[in-house]
A and B are shown apart, each in its own frame.
Chain A
Amino acid sequence: MVNEVNTEPQNRKQMPKTSYSRPMIGSTGKTGSWRIFDPVIDYGNCSKCRTCWLFCPEAAISIDEDETPHIDLDYCKGCGICAEECPKKCIAMVRSGETKEAPV
């Protein structure tokens, strides 16, 4: 997104003088497509401590009503920080295409 109204200009007359945008989810598209390894949470061992949620640099982890973490694979870039920081070591990094996020 290059302009205040978060639209895609058709020509340069519609463009601002420099690029800027309003805060929004995914202003540069679905950056999850950059991922090589997927984080896979073993919910059986997860203690719901929120460490992964706290450390995720992309804010791609959300916590649901019963405090279970969920990773938004549309925006997770697969950096592996959550897996590294998880005190229970219950997040595995698995090559993309070889798995899907385990069902809750």
Chain B
Amino acid sequence: MKTELMSANYAAAHAIVSARVGVVAAYPITPATTIPEQIALLSEDGIYKGEFIRVESEHSAMFACIGASSTGVRAFTATSSNGLLLMHEALHWAAAARLPIVLVNINRSVSPSWNIHVTHDDSYSQRDTGWLQFYSASVDELYHTIIQSFKLAEDERVLMPVMVNADGFVLSHTLSTFDYLEPEEVDKFLPPYNPPHWVMDPSNPVSHGNIVFPEYYQEFRYAMHEAELNAYKVYQEVERDYKRLFGKYFGGPIDCYKCGDADVLFTSLGTVGSEAKDAIDQLRAEGYKVGNARIRMYRPFPVARVRELAKRAKAFACFDRGLSYGFGGPSVNDLRASLYATEYRPLVKSYLGGFGGRDITVTDIKEIILDTHKAMEKGDLGPEETWHDLR
């Protein structure tokens, strides 16, 4: 392990080398562009030893990954925003074909209006494709989560593709130190991918994607759901092994900071959850018992962990940087739904903001947490949903 200084995108490209990926198929789109760009350079320099396929669209990129993964090779792509949306059909296909592809999505707003900065609408809108979803808050976390994702995706109890998200520009283009692992070091953690089921092999042909009538279709979908639920537990094993081998740990499905005795918990996805630690420290210094619960794993949704937190916390301030139009913040709705069947009834307040890359600073986060804290003290929920900093 050695310390490197790179942007998140360059670190992501280096994760492909560390994980000995066999095929990368990618199409450029800001702000993900510098990932395939860097992989192409690493390929030219002979550092990345797999194939690099230059395709004509993101739809083709994902189908090229599907073809590659079907032959039993480790496959990767990276994209953003409209590019991810163009992959939509292929995302469903990859999940239902049970192919352990890993995709890095650099979160970017969807147009119109044209905007290259962060909103989580792109990945939120792919929530129901079957892809596991992680959100990262640092360069180091993105790099290591990519490597962990291959292990998780290739586990026979899971065998589902994984999307690792990072906020456009805020993270993708920000330089930071991270701990790079050589492929020889990662070998101890991640053995070569050995498909435990069908493989596309011309010398031993099978038909895949063939017609399945109502007698069996439902069972295949149930198996995907079961696999996704398994991933919650398997990921914790993956993290345990990773920590043992490399000393790296990013907090599990929900990264908790000072949650233990907290009355109010701030939840969010992505880099806001990193900024929030400073807000928590400042509020703690002012005497508020508050904590930061950063959601790293969004699919499968960490229901069990949310319930553990709700057992003690009196209120949640849930921040979403994306929206289900007509029903509000996706992560807050998942959190509320996780608690309905339990006896826990903390106040849950929803906050929407930071769209189109609008900056969310420590001051903004403190304001949000204090708003929930006030509601908790009054014992009155007040508005269920608040748009933060709405002109």
Contacts and interface: CB of A to CB of B under 8 A. Distances in A.
25 contacts: A2-B210, A2-B212, A2-B220, A12-B222, A12-B223, A15-B219, A15-B220, A15-B223, A16-B198, A17-B98, A17-B159, A17-B223, A18-B96, A18-B198, A19-B208, A19-B210, A19-B212, A20-B207, A20-B208, A21-B206, A21-B207, A22-B205, A27-B207, A27-B210, A28-B210
Interface of A: 1-2, 4, 8-9, 12, 15-23, 27-28
Contact of B97 (A18, A23, A27): A18
Contacts of A20: 198, 206-208, 210
Interface string B186-221: 000000000001100000011111111101100110
Given A20-B206, A28-B210, 8 more contacts: A1-B210, A2-B212, A16-B197, A17-B220, A19-B209, A20-B207, A20-B208, A27-B207
B228 to A, nearest CB: 13
The 7 lowest CB-CB distance pairs between A and B, nearest first, are A12-B219, A20-B208, A17-B98, A20-B198, A20-B206, A28-B211, A18-B98
Contacts of B211: 28
Nearest to B207: A21
Contacts of A18: 96-98, 197-198, 208, 220
Interface of B: 96-98, 159, 197-198, 205-213, 215-216, 219-220, 222-223, 227
Contacts of A17: 98, 159, 197, 220, 223, 227
A32 to B, nearest CB: 15
Nearest to B200: A20
Contacts of A4: 198, 206
Contacts of B98: 17-18
Contacts of B212: 2, 19
A41 B220 CA distance: 42
A17 B207 CA distance: 14
A12 B227 CA distance: 14
B231 to A, nearest CB: 14
Contacts of A23: 205-207
A23 B207 CA distance: 6
Contacts of B206: 4, 20-23
Contact of A21 (B197, B210, B220): B210
A33 to B, nearest CB: 13
* Residue of A2, A8, A9 contacting most chain B CB atoms (<10 Å): A2
Contacts of B159: 17
Contacts of A19: 208-210, 212, 216, 220
A21 B207 CA distance: 5
